[in-house]
């Protein structure tokens, strides 16, 4: 699970670097986009600080909430470090954004991809919970069988 989260973070950061390289020549087409090029750069900078500095996470998220920056809130709440509740809140914020998924809106595309990543993280968490539940049920059965075996061995020794 940790390898998967690490891979997702690396892919996310690499995707962000690719978007920065593509975004500069397209800055004139930002009027139809929900997230303009400069806003994307600002959000990516904040996101990098958020991921790199665990001690600053709460203050960066609080600033986004205070500024009512729905796109930044969604972005910061949708990291692999986020709780399931935060991921669900991020999905609600993403749903309220009117993202343009066309190629001329790299900021909108970035948030759209992060929305998809958030869905994948929620699915992974649900699968993990199912597996943990099955594991716990199997452990209970193993413990019960071990106890029965011990009882049978004790009865044999007594006879």
What secondary structure does DSSP assign to 97-122, as a single string? Answer: S----STT-HHHHHHHHHHHHHHHHH
- Average pLDDT, stretch 115-136? 95
Residue bearing tokens 């948030």: 111
88 CB burial (10 A radius; 0-12, 13-18, 19+): middle
Per-residue pLDDT of 127-150, as tens digits, reads: 999 999 999 999 999 999 999 999
Q: What is the pTM of this model?
A: 0.67
Residue 108 and residue 92 in contact, taking contact as beta carbons nearer than 8 Å: no
């Amino acid at each position: 699970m940790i390898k998967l989260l690490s891979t997702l973070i690396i892919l996310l950061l690499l995707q962000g670097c690719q978007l920065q390289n593509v975004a500069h020549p397209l800055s004139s087409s930002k009027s139809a986009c929900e997230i303009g090029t400069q806003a994307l750069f600002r959000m990516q900078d904040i996101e990098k600080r958020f991921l790199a500095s665990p001690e600053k996470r709460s203050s960066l998220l609080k600033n986004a909430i205070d500024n009512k920056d729905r796109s930044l809130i969604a972005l910061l709440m949708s990291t692999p470090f986020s709780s399931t509740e935060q991921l669900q809140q991020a999905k609600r914020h993403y749903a309220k954004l009117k993202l343009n998924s066309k190629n001329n809106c790299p900021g909108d595309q970035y948030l759209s991809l992060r929305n998809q990543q958030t869905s994948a993280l929620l699915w992974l968490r649900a699968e993990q919970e199912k597996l943990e539940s099955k594991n716990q049920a199997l452990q209970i059965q193993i413990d019960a069988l071990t106890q029965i075996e011990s009882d049978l061995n004790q009865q044999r020794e007594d006879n």
